[in-house]
Structure 1
Amino acid sequence: MIQFILTVFFLIATTANAASDPPDDMAERVKSCTICHGESDRAEQHVYYPRIGGKPVGYLYNQLRNFRDGRRHYQPMAILLENMPDDYLMDIARYFSTQSLPKYQPERHSLQPDERELAEMMIFSGDSDRDIPACSDCHGRALMGKSPFIPGLLGLPRAYLSAQFGSWRNGGLVRGQVSDCMSKIAEKLTDREIIAIAKWLSIQEVSGNPEPAGSLSPALAQRCSSIVEVEISS
């Protein structure tokens, strides 16, 4: 009788423990990511952590490898990824890339007419005299990126955008060890241009999808070779 009672108790305890165990799926495994980066179905956003849901798979994969391998510097990310193999990083990248675009509440900044004119000129025309391509040349006319390697620029807070420009220009914590196209471009932009671009981008609605990578010109593909360094297999 005692043996029977102990057996029943064991089965009940085992069932209860199994029911309380979290599911072993990718959504559960990446909860350490969404603590900072948020989930795509929620509107709140920390101004210094970008939303990663819906970004191109190749871009996410390259950034994960860059953090892990020390080409991009942010210690919490490096520690989190240090023992992860490439295949698993690709699984993470695919998971976030298939999510819907995060909800984004455009920020409320008032742009003066000269700020708006300057921002739109740099974003859609660039400055050929200073060898600065338009943002839209790489990131697409709708500024939603080019799949699978180039991220969109919309849905990002002004503080995050400004911080990234600062890091590209000054060699901050999130700048890679190797030279890339954005660091060279950012070095040529003035403070006034960076402020105008960041303000303009942060007040836009998020809509549309990434363009195909084939729309990137050969010259720009070569210039930005650091973001097209791997081939994405299906």
Structure 2
Amino acid sequence: MKKSAILISALFFVGLTPAFAEDGARLFQRKGCTTCHGVGGAKPITAQYPSLAGQNAEYIVEQLNSFKDGHRTGINAQQMVQFAKSISKDGAENQTAVASYLAAQAFVGGNNVDADLVEKGKAAFTEKGCTSCHGEGANAPIMPAYPKLAGLSPQYVINQLNAFRDGSRKGTPNADAMAPMATTLAPEEVAAVANYLGSLSR
């Protein structure tokens, strides 16, 4: 366990170097990731997909592993399995390269949000204790394996919260933690929180 932790830490240290990020850029392009997530992971082709630019590298690696191993279920999980396996087939360092590259990319906003719901969503996000894990402004998670939620499209957030609520997204520690939290949100609060997050910058 100790050796494994040291290896992961070493990979992330290497992953911060420009050369490693360049490898990640080539992999992201060559594996076809831009087809859905856009150049640099910044402009998904649909609001159903997440923006990956500026996301925490450790979170991305954890999700790639969860897809690869078939642990993460839910919306678009089946589509991601083969992509995650393809990225990882030549070694775990490829995951770290892609994740480090994406973490270094500039976030591009432009979500369509309902302005009437933004303040309600901000209040619900605070009242439900979401900041205790995801931080103020949903952009400073307390752990690197937690995602930055700021700037995700409202539709993506709604889909994921509903998947946590109905149990269709499961199989990972994050999902297990999110399921009971998501069920505390009423349907109208789900929409409000999603629009609040979509209004933020990463």
Provide the TM-score with structure 2 as the length reference: 0.73
> Counterpart in 1 of 2:105?
99
- Per the alignment, in what secondary structure is the counterpart of residue 181 of structure 2? helix
* Structure with larger Rg: 1
Please state if 1:49 is matched with 2:45: no
Opposite residue 54 of structure 1, the aligned amino acid is G
Q: How far, CA to CA, are the matches of 1:117 and 1:77 in structure 2?
A: 34
Q: Give distance in 2, aligned partners of 1:116 and 1:52.
A: 22
Could you say if the C-alpha distance between residues 168 and 44 of structure 1 is closer, same or farther in structure 2, counting changes exceeding 3 Å? closer
Distance change >3 Å, CA 43–CA 70, structure 1 → 2: closer
Conservation of the 8 A alpha-carbon contact between 2:42 and 2:53: no
Q: 1:135 aligns with which of 130, 134, 145?
A: 130
Aligned to 2:147: 151
How far off its partner does 1:118 sit? 4.1
Q: Does the 8 Å contact 2:40/2:102 carry over to 1?
A: no
Q: What's the offset of the Cα at 1:148?
A: 2.1
SS in 1 for 2:131: helix
- Distance, in Å, in 2 between the alignment partners of 1:40 and 1:58 is 17
TM superposition shift of 1:80: 1.8
Residue 63 of structure 1 deviates from its aligned partner by 0.5
Contact kept, 8 Å, 1:40 with 1:103, in 2: the verdict is no
| 2:123 alignment partner in structure 1 | 121
Mark the CA change 1:55 to 1:86 in structure 2 (over 3 Å): closer, same or farther.
same
Change in Cα spacing, 1:76 to 1:116, as seen in structure 2 (3 Å) is closer
Give the alignment of 1:12-51 within 5 angstroms. 25-31=23-29, 32-40=32-40, 45-51=45-51
Task: Determine which of 187, 195, 207 is the counterpart of 2:191.
Answer: 195
* Separation (CA, whole Å) in 2 of partners of 1:97 and 1:198: 22
Q: Is the 8 A contact 1:139 1:145 kept in 2?
A: yes
Q: Hey, what does 2:84 align to over in structure 1?
A: 81
1:88 Cα shift? 2.1
- Check the 8 A contact 1:40/1:51 in 2, yes or no: no
Rounded Cα–Cα distance in structure 1 between residues aligned with 2:24 and 2:34: 12
- Equivalenced residue count is 171
Q: CA deviation at 1:87?
A: 2.5
Cα separation, partners in 2 of 1:169 and 1:104, compared to 1, 3 Å: same
Cα 1:53/1:156, change in 2 over 3 Å: same
Q: After TM superposition, which residue ranges in structure 1, 4 or more long, deviate above 6 angstroms?
A: none
1:170 to partner: Cα distance: 1.3
Amino acid at match of 1:94: S
Q: Percent of pairs identical after alignment?
A: 26
CA-based RMSD: 2.5
Q: Deviations over 1:22-68 (max 9, x none)?
A: xx943232121121111248656520111112111111110111101
Asked if the contact 2:23/2:98 (under 8 Å) is kept, the reply is no
Between the two structures, name the one with larger relative contact order (CA 8 Å, sep ≥ 6): 2
User: How much has 1:198 moved relative to structure 2?
Assistant: 1.3
Q: In structure 2, do the counterparts of structure 1 residues 155 and 86 end up closer, same or farther at CA, with 3 Å as the change threshold?
A: same
2:177 and 2:160 map into 1 onto residues whose CA distance is 13
CA contact (8 A) 1:43 1:105 kept: no
Q: 2:15 maps to what in 1?
A: none
